[in-house]
Amino acid sequence: MRDPNHQMPSAVHRNLRRTNRSLQIGLVIIGLVVVLALFGPSIAPHDPLEETQIIKVDNEWVTIPFPAFTPGYPLGSDGHGRDLLSRLLWGVRPTLILVVVVAGVRLVLGLAWGVTAGWTTGRAERVLNGVIAAALAVPVLMVALAVIAMVGVDLGLLAFILGLSITGWAEAAQLVRDQTRIVRGEVYTEAARALGETGLQIGIRHVRRQITPMLWMLLAFEMSSTLVVTASLGFLGYYIGGDVWIDIREEAGAAARVAGMPELGQMLAASWVLFQQPWAMFAIGSIIFVTILGFNLIGAGMRLRLNQPPPTRPTPYARTIGRLGQRIEERALLPVTAQDKRVTLRAALIGGIVLVAASGLLLRNAQATPPPLASVTESAVPGGHLWPTERHDSWGTLWAPVRGPSNPTVEWIFEDPAGFAGGPAVSVDGTLYLISKAGPLYALDPTGNKIWLAALPANGVGAPALNADGDIYAVDEKGLSAFTSKGDLL
């Protein structure tokens, strides 16, 4: 007859199946997110910074923002005509790097503070517990907003690490503190102290064993909460790189936000303005929601597994992992406790150096990408012209490669009785092109002398534009005309 002790109760079976199902679904979701972070940019169908203002679909012109399922734009576009699918594939990686770094910093701070608060007694214990209670009482979002606004979003990843970690470590510290207190009151801890073991030896032999199974659960929940706060900050306009505003009209106060290199937080901040077509916000929010769900499922599954009694018959996988962990502990961790304290301090110092070096590399990689407008303005000007359009380039940045004089003086004046329809365009050789409201297109040399004049079919509209070959495009009330740099009609 089979021993009934080897048969697991049905309730335990159900709990284990539910735990395994939660873990499996969460790992699949996060695995897909990691794959997108690694290979998303290479499979993106478009350049995430490429703008398309208008396309033709079934003999009809469609303007931005393009709706979903537009040919070539399966998820549509944002308000600047950039492919939303490509920006999502590019945006997962920086967001995941931010979440991993911040969650790691918060977990390390929480572990250190929680173990110290749980092991100490007396006045030090009260002070440490008071700090944890104060950190839990203040919302993380409010602290992050204040810190990022104070230090400046231009610091990039470092600003978010500071803002999200000042109080974000408190929840992990509270759990670790409670577990450490339980271990401190156990009989085997008192026995180890009676046998002459130091606090460091007791911490490695006993406290570490009780806390280590919680690390992955705590890390999963830290990533989930970090992503929630990061998305909230992005919705409020705080994201890596900060805001970039450009003028869109000659009137004062008319400006638009330009979001550069894609990151889920700034994409969410830039998408809320499209209330008439909320598809962009829905798509970005879905990616964030699914990622948060994956982290929560992993954390919940690990928490359920920690609360479940171990099976009477462990699986071969569990036996293998158990033997491996025991061997590592016997050969690597336990001998350290018997050695001089200098060995332990040396190991801690080396580990700290490695952690600082890894953090520095992450910070350098995160801050290596320059602001997008500064990196594309020069290359976005075809032919290297000084001012090829009314707003300098296709981004409309009004950017110039030189600094203007602090005390400008008037060198020459050129007038037209009807006035000018827009600003000038300046070619690479310094020739200025102007469109009159009455119709003529002027070409002036750098000293203000007229080189040639070309008539337009109707009254001029706006400023001329130059292509890479130096040809001039001029718009009037009847259409578009093109001229060579010598004034010949194309």
Q: How many residues does the chain have?
A: 490
The tally of CA atoms less than 13 A away on the side-chain side of residue 387 is 17
The tokens of 423 are what? Answer: 């600003």
User: For 149-178, how does the pLDDT look when each residue is reduced to its tens digit (9 = 90+)?
Assistant: 888 776 777 888 888 888 888 989 998 898
Look at residues 1, 239, 208, 223 and name the one whose alpha carbon lies nearest to residue 115.
Answer: 208
Residue 363 included in any domain: yes
Q: What are phi and psi of 453, to 5 degrees?
A: -135, 135
Most confident range (mean pLDDT) of 34-43, 149-158, 188-197, 305-314 is 34-43
Residue 315 included in any domain: no
Look at residues 488, 406, 422, 417 and name the one whose alpha carbon lies nearest to residue 455.
Answer: 488
- Assess contact for 232 and 383: CB atoms under 8 A: no
Segment holding 474, helix H or strand E: strand 472-476
Amino acid at 225: S
The pLDDT assigned to 281 comes to 81
The tally of CA atoms less than 13 A away on the side-chain side of residue 241 is 27
- Say if residue 482's pLDDT is above 90: yes
The pLDDT assigned to 4 comes to 47
The CA distance from 421 to 435, in Å, is: 6
Q: Do residues 438 and 366 share a domain?
A: no
- Say if residue 317's pLDDT is above 80: no
Could you tell me the CATH number of the domain that includes residue 281? 1.10.3720.10
SS3 432: strand
Q: Do residues 110 and 219 share a domain?
A: yes
Look at residues 410, 389, 414, 356 and name the one whose alpha carbon lies nearest to residue 468.
Answer: 389
Q: Of 324, 355, 373, which marks where a domain is finished?
A: 373
The range of the structural domain enclosing residue 273 comes to 10-307+339-373
pTM of the model: 0.61
Q: Of 373, 392, 421, which marks where a domain is finished?
A: 373
- Say if residue 140's pLDDT is above 60: yes
The pLDDT assigned to 203 comes to 72
Q: Categorise residue 253: left if φ over 0, alpha if ψ from -120 to 50, beta otherwise.
A: left
SS3 312: coil
The CA distance from 449 to 278, in Å, is: 52
Amino acid at 370: P
Q: Do residues 435 and 357 share a domain?
A: no
Count up the domains in the chain and report the number.
2
- Say if residue 457's pLDDT is above 60: yes
- Assess contact for 100 and 54: CB atoms under 8 A: no
237 vs 386 pLDDT, higher one: 386
Residue 380, C-beta contacts closer than 8 angstroms, at least 6 positions apart: 393, 394, 395
Could you tell me the CATH number of the domain that includes residue 390? 2.40.128.630
Q: Do residues 359 and 420 share a domain?
A: no
Residue 117, C-beta contacts closer than 8 angstroms, at least 6 positions apart: 125, 128, 129, 132, 173, 177, 180
The pLDDT assigned to 48 comes to 83
Residue 461 included in any domain: yes
Q: Do residues 223 and 144 share a domain?
A: yes
Give percent of the chain with pLDDT exceeding 70.
73
The pLDDT assigned to 416 comes to 86
The pLDDT assigned to 35 comes to 93
Q: Do residues 349 and 393 share a domain?
A: no
User: For 202-237, how does the pLDDT look when each residue is reduced to its tens digit (9 = 90+)?
Assistant: 777 777 777 887 888 899 999 999 998 888 887 777
Amino acid at 98: L
SS3 225: helix
Confidence label for 256 from pLDDT (cuts 50, 70 and 90) = very low
Residue 321 included in any domain: no
DSSP sequence for 251-292 = STT-EEE---S--HHHHHHHHTT--SSTHHHHHHHHHHHHHH
Q: Alpha helix locations (H) across 308-340?
A: 316-328, 334-338
Other residues' Cβ atoms within 10 Å of the Cβ of residue 169: 25
Q: Do residues 282 and 390 share a domain?
A: no
Q: Do residues 358 and 384 share a domain?
A: no
User: For 271-290, how does the pLDDT look when each residue is reduced to its tens digit (9 = 90+)?
Assistant: 765 555 677 788 888 899 99
Look at residues 20, 389, 84 and name the one whose alpha carbon lies nearest to residue 262.
Answer: 84
Residue 4 included in any domain: no
Q: Do residues 249 and 360 share a domain?
A: yes
Beta bridge partners of 433: 425, 443
| DSSP code of residue 489 | B
The pLDDT assigned to 47 comes to 83
Q: Do residues 220 and 95 share a domain?
A: yes
Residue with tokens 């997108």: 36
The tokens of 388 are what? Answer: 């090829």
Q: What are phi and psi of 420, to 5 degrees?
A: -110, 145
The CA distance from 220 to 228, in Å, is: 13
The pLDDT assigned to 98 comes to 87
Distances (CA, A) of 312 to 1, 10, 106: 17, 14, 36
Distance of alpha carbon 242 from its chain centroid, rounded? 11
The CA distance from 404 to 156, in Å, is: 29
Q: Do residues 388 and 369 share a domain?
A: no
Q: Do residues 356 and 441 share a domain?
A: no
Distances (CA, A) of 100 to 24, 224, 249, 295: 20, 10, 41, 12
The CA distance from 270 to 237, in Å, is: 8
The CA distance from 267 to 284, in Å, is: 7
What angle (nearest 5°) sits at the alpha carbon of residue 168, between those of residues 165 and 173? 110
The CA distance from 389 to 398, in Å, is: 10
> Positive or negative CA dihedral for 76, 78, 80, 83?
negative
DSSP sequence for 327-356 = HHIIIIIHHHHHS-HHHHHHHHHHHHHHHH
- Assess contact for 424 and 433: CB atoms under 8 A: yes
The CA distance from 141 to 164, in Å, is: 8
- For the chain, what is the mean pLDDT? 77
